[in-house]
Structure 1
């Protein structure tokens, strides 16, 4: 028989248990079987969507992470599960080595505001794969994959899409872009060799363009002209040798930036770059030998900082107009160096006044 002391101990724990059931209610203490299938609204039952996982943030937005799917068929099966709340904020597929195609119908009836596929082996997004997200998607980021095919023809259907980031992929040509809302385009580090002058003609709201790391050789007249919101253009790390007059004509009132670094440009044409008011232009590491006043003065007179470092500058009389004006000289990068090894900013302006007929 139990001692009196042990009986009191048992009674004490029974009292606590009963009180807990009274306060919480019997439904708040699930059985082992119930807890195995428990789900926290608004996410689906976890077992039903494996190997994907669902999470909710403090604001109630729900995300789906499918980084561990092993095939296109498995991804499609996940989205046949019962999903009570099909309107997700984000789909994430990261570092996946299996999924090569995002197929039409694979995402079931769900919609997303953001799509993130990064560091994976995805090769294509089929036409119609994002049908249910036409009205909701604001952000598509499919970068560092093997993407060669994307349904660019569907862009006009994405009525809320602001950002399209497809950098570090295998796109071989510049696609036809058409959107009334798209403002950010990143097609950097692909295999694009030709940039048509009408590339952004049907993207009226474009504000930022990244085409770094392609194989583009020329920027034609009008390519980046006439866009009221365009404030950032980057074509660094290409094979540019010529920028035609009128190629980059910015009119945005924001701080404007143009990156043409690490190319093959030997001279800057008159009026090739304009409208970069109080902004920044990088011509770092090109093949520029002379600093033509007619080309560069319109930029520096608008308080534009110009990076001319790592160019083989001859530093003849062509730089006299810069050296004899401290305001202009202050806008040229301090690392701009003559082929003789001297820094441009350290040259004696009096030599140029005496020898270059400066008045």
Structure 2
């Protein structure tokens, strides 16, 4: 008996197995081929989630925006997923109420986005302390908006050794969270309900660069609250409730801070030494309620090259601003 042995050259085998592999199950008369792109799981195993693979980046993303509830999400991630390593995970915040610790089994993610459309009714209220525990070494960003989350396991953020962005917007969060992280670069808490930023609350974020806290009801700031951020670049607190700014509330130690945005608050007065440590930065105070520009408050800042943006304030034009008018070097800065 003659046996025909086919031997492929090694380079040909390399080419064959380096390409994305597609396949489909046996079809009925009216079936549509259900293609699979390796290393993604079989589409029917993870439906209604959709896995996409970007070959040039070697990354799988999982889109679960069409998931109906927690049970269906649980079934998806407890199905056969040969390689449970994903880049982006997308989830709806208006179809889930709780993300339990076991829901994702052994799956890991780099970026998690939980959101819904602007006119949706968010239902997500709870995220377990270990929901993303398998991603402690991979998670880089967690974005959630809008949600009904009033509590979150903020104390676990420090366990994620590569996280650089945390965003929680449009939630009923009523107390500014205590967060510790050596890697967090961006913290965004927009349109929540807290009113106070206590002193020392940011002390455990040594590498934070961007802080956005707009559309809150913030009317109270602790003294030196931003001074513990040695590399902060941007502080944004627009559309808040700030009315009177006091000494050292915006004291900074970062030489890289380039802007403080306080647009559309209710600011009427600013004490001397409110802003300390700014070097060639911009203070954006557009749309507040300032009427006076006391020399003791603003001259030291202009002497340091700080730019003041003051449009939309009802400033008086009297002798109290003569110190600015009579000094031409200040004119480009105001």
Q: Check the 8 A contact 1:46/1:53 in 2, yes or no.
A: yes
With over 3 angstroms needed to count, the CA separation of the structure-2 counterparts of 1:292 and 1:44, relative to structure 1, is: same
Shift of 1:238: 0.9
Map 1:298-317 → 2, pairs under 5 A? 298-317=300-319
Q: Which residue is 2:26 aligned to?
A: 33
Q: Check the 8 A contact 1:171/1:192 in 2, yes or no.
A: yes
- 2:95 paired with 1:98: yes
With over 3 angstroms needed to count, the CA separation of the structure-2 counterparts of 1:32 and 1:103, relative to structure 1, is: closer
Shift of 1:156: 1.4
Shift of 1:250: 2.5
With over 3 angstroms needed to count, the CA separation of the structure-2 counterparts of 1:88 and 1:137, relative to structure 1, is: same
Shift of 1:252: 2.6
With over 3 angstroms needed to count, the CA separation of the structure-2 counterparts of 1:89 and 1:231, relative to structure 1, is: same
- Cα distance in 1 for residues equivalent to 2:221 and 2:197: 7
1:289 aligns with one of 280, 288, 291: 291
Q: Secondary structure at the match of 1:236?
A: coil
Q: Which residue is 2:8 aligned to?
A: none
Q: Which residue is 2:204 aligned to?
A: 202
Shift of 1:226: 3.1
Instruction: Give the TM-score, by structure 2 length.
Output: 0.86
- Measured against aligned partners, the alpha-carbon deviations of 1:326-354 in whole angstroms (never above 9, x if no partner) come to 2212111xxxxxxxxxxxxxxxxxxxxxx
With over 3 angstroms needed to count, the CA separation of the structure-2 counterparts of 1:30 and 1:185, relative to structure 1, is: closer
With over 3 angstroms needed to count, the CA separation of the structure-2 counterparts of 1:36 and 1:232, relative to structure 1, is: same
* Cα root mean square deviation, aligned: 2.0
Shift of 1:86: 1.1
- Cα distance in 1 for residues equivalent to 2:237 and 2:105: 38
- Measured against aligned partners, the alpha-carbon deviations of 1:205-240 in whole angstroms (never above 9, x if no partner) come to 111111111111122211111321012111121111
Q: Which residue is 2:73 aligned to?
A: 75
- Measured against aligned partners, the alpha-carbon deviations of 1:143-200 in whole angstroms (never above 9, x if no partner) come to 2233222210111111111110112222111111111211211111100112111110
With over 3 angstroms needed to count, the CA separation of the structure-2 counterparts of 1:282 and 1:32, relative to structure 1, is: closer
Q: Structure 2, unaligned stretches of length 5 or more?
A: 1-15
1:189 aligns with one of 188, 191, 202: 191
- Cα distance in 1 for residues equivalent to 2:80 and 2:91: 21
Q: Check the 8 A contact 2:195/2:220 in 1, yes or no.
A: no
How many residues of Structure 1 are paired with residues of Structure 2 in the alignment?
305
Which shifted more, 277-286 or 249-258?
A: 249-258
Map 1:241-260 → 2, pairs under 5 A? 241-254=243-256, 256-260=258-262
Q: Which residue is 2:239 aligned to?
A: 237
Q: Which residue is 1:55 aligned to?
A: 52
For the pair shown, which has the larger CA radius of gyration, 1 or 2? 1
Instruction: Give the TM-score, by structure 1 length.
Output: 0.80
- Cα distance in 1 for residues equivalent to 2:217 and 2:78: 42
Structure with greater helix percent:
1
Shift of 1:31: 7.7
- 2:217 paired with 1:215: yes
Q: Which residue is 1:86 aligned to?
A: 84
Which shifted more, 236-245 or 115-124?
A: 115-124
- Cα distance in 2 for residues equivalent to 1:29 and 1:270: 68
- Measured against aligned partners, the alpha-carbon deviations of 1:68-119 in whole angstroms (never above 9, x if no partner) come to 110101000000111111111110125x532122221111110101101122
